[in-house]
Amino acid sequence: MTTLIDIPGREEYRRKFLRDGFVVIENEPISSGYIDIPLSQMYIFSKTAYSRLRDMVTEEPDSVTDILFSTMPEWAKVMLPEETEDDKLCLFNEQYIVKTPRSESVSSFEWHQDSQYMDASAQNSYPVVSCWTALDDVNLSNGTLVIEPFPRPMPENKSGYVELSTKLTNKEEYIKYHQNISSFYETALDPATAVQIAQSTPPNEPAINRPTIGYIEHFDGTQWTYERQAPVLVDIPAGSVVFMSGFVRHCSIGNRSMKFRRAFMPQYSIGKVMNAEEGYISLAVPCTVKHEEAGDANMGSGDADEI
């Protein structure tokens, strides 16, 4: 099992995540019966083979619960600000996204930011990271993601790009930075145009238009120039994970292939996300629960310590 202390290159992953609003981790950072490639195709028509494959999902140490509360949270910590005694890392939501075969006209998702499903109070208070996990190989033909990175800041003399002066480990700084830099997104591109630009833009030429002037008060009143970045077309093998800020703009295209395209997306927050009326928006399950055994004895499930 991969843990935070042995994730190679974690500082570079975090740097890219803060710069672009997302980072793609390929080559199966997690492993379980969810995503392991079958050794044969017997499962298609054999009950025994299918049952064996299906049961792999619940085998320790790579059960779904282990992925949700151990492996994936360690990766989420790389992208989020530091948790505190009052604001623990929590499972905020989980969902499956399944695109049926030949559903191109109905299985696309419009441009959006995941934070838009939270009210303003929650957006201003709780950082959230989405862990979009490919359960199948994902590519242009079966309905992949298209992501527009955060606008890239440059100093006024346009000599290179601005590197962050802080690691943004403080929750308030982290949220303010993500909100401010995402506010300089320009009008969303047509998805088909975005795909064309993503396919034709060389990696060393990320900008797609002339810079615009931006201003972030938090960073000592410094005035920066912003370049709009070319969209990124996600093409990844099963088991890879796309970690996305709640403020990064993304969409997905329809599935025109003859096979299902499956993805699993748990989301994590720093703190238990509540709306302005102090109600929980979704889940608020701490990834680490103290006194769990005592809770089990009193409640039969440990729920007493998780509320």
**pLDDT tens for each residue of the chain, 307 residues long:** 344 445 667 888 998 999 999 999 986 555 555 555 666 777 667 778 777 766 766 555 556 777 888 889 999 999 999 999 999 999 999 999 999 999 999 999 999 999 999 989 999 999 999 999 998 899 999 999 999 999 988 766 666 777 765 678 889 989 998 998 899 899 999 999 999 999 988 766 666 665 555 555 445 556 677 888 999 999 998 889 999 999 999 999 999 999 999 999 999 999 999 888 878 888 889 998 653 443 444 444 444 444 4
Closest CA to 76 of 25, 138, 147: 25
148 SS3 class: strand
CA distance 24 to 243: 6
79 SS3 class: helix
CA distance 273 to 128: 9
Fold observed for domain 4-305: Jelly Rolls (2.60.120)
CA distance 114 to 95: 13
Task: List the strands of the sheet with 109-112, edge to edge.
Answer: 109-112, 249-252, 145-148, 232-233
**Per-residue tokens: 90:** 């929590």
Closest CA to 244 of 109, 59, 61, 48: 109
